[in-house]
């Protein structure tokens, strides 16, 4: 009887971890809910949960660096933010949000080539990152590649139909890309 007790106790101790993982919604599940969301208010709540997953690198240190970069960016300290996002990428090269955040800084600096490179890497790592598609649309639009920009905005909306920046970008480009109806 005693030799069964230790494995049983070990299994019981692991159960909360399994239960917690089962309760945590997956990105695919959340994005499916988002696409089917009947209201903007419900979509906003789901979008926050998606962002929580996008911000989770799996490392507390990397997550802290990301948050410090975001804080620095909001405070207008773009060089410091860039350093933090560079550290995020160095410590977690497979974490899409570091590239996405750095791309935003590069876009604002007018370094569109670097922004494109980082956005492409973010999308390679996380193909459902609707904000990276929106950022890609902004860069391509700035470069005058309207058809490609429209496609990027459309790709963002296919993932998150409530993404306001992508909606505005697609609407802005629709007539030039699709032509005007008579």
Domain membership of residue 71 (yes or no) is: yes
Is 163 found in the same domain as 138?
yes
End-to-end Cα spacing for the chain: 84
Domain membership of residue 74 (yes or no) is: yes
Largest CA distance in the chain: 84
DSSP state of 91: H
Is 149 found in the same domain as 99?
no
Is 133 found in the same domain as 108?
no
Least confident residue range of 1-15, 62-76, 83-97, 119-133: 1-15
Length of the chain: 182
Is 100 found in the same domain as 67?
yes
Range of the domain at 150: 128-182
Domain membership of residue 153 (yes or no) is: yes
- The tens digit of pLDDT for each residue in 156-168 reads 999 999 999 999 9
Domain membership of residue 105 (yes or no) is: yes
Number of domains within the chain: 2
pTM of the model: 0.84
Q: In whole angstroms, what is the distance from residue 112 CA to residue 136 CA?
A: 10
Contact 149, 174 (CB under 8 A): no
Of 62, 91, 114, the last residue of a domain is 114
Q: In whole angstroms, what is the distance from residue 180 CA to residue 31 CA?
A: 32
Mean pLDDT within 95-124: 98
Domain membership of residue 69 (yes or no) is: yes
């Amino acid at each position: 009887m005693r030799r069964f007790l230790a494995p049983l106790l070990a299994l019981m101790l692991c159960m909360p971890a399994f239960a917690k993982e089962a309760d945590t919604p997956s990105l695919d599940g959340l994005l499916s809910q988002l696409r089917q969301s009947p209201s903007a208010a419900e979509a906003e709540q789901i979008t926050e949960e998606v962002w929580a997953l996008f911000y989770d690198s799996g490392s507390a240190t990397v997550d802290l660096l990301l948050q410090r970069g975001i804080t620095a960016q909001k405070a207008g300290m773009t060089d410091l933010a860039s350093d933090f996002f560079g550290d995020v990428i160095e410590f977690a090269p497979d974490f899409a949000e570091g590239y996405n955040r750095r791309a935003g800084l590069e876009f604002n600096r007018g370094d569109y080539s670097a922004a494109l490179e980082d956005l492409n890497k973010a999308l390679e790592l996380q193909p459902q990152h609707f904000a990276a598609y929106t950022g890609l649309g902004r860069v391509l639009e700035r470069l005058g590649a309207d058809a490609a920009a429209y496609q990027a905005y459309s790709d963002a909306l296919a993932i998150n139909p409530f993404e306001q920046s992508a909606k505005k970008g697609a609407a802005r480009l629709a007539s030039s890309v699709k032509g005007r109806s008579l």
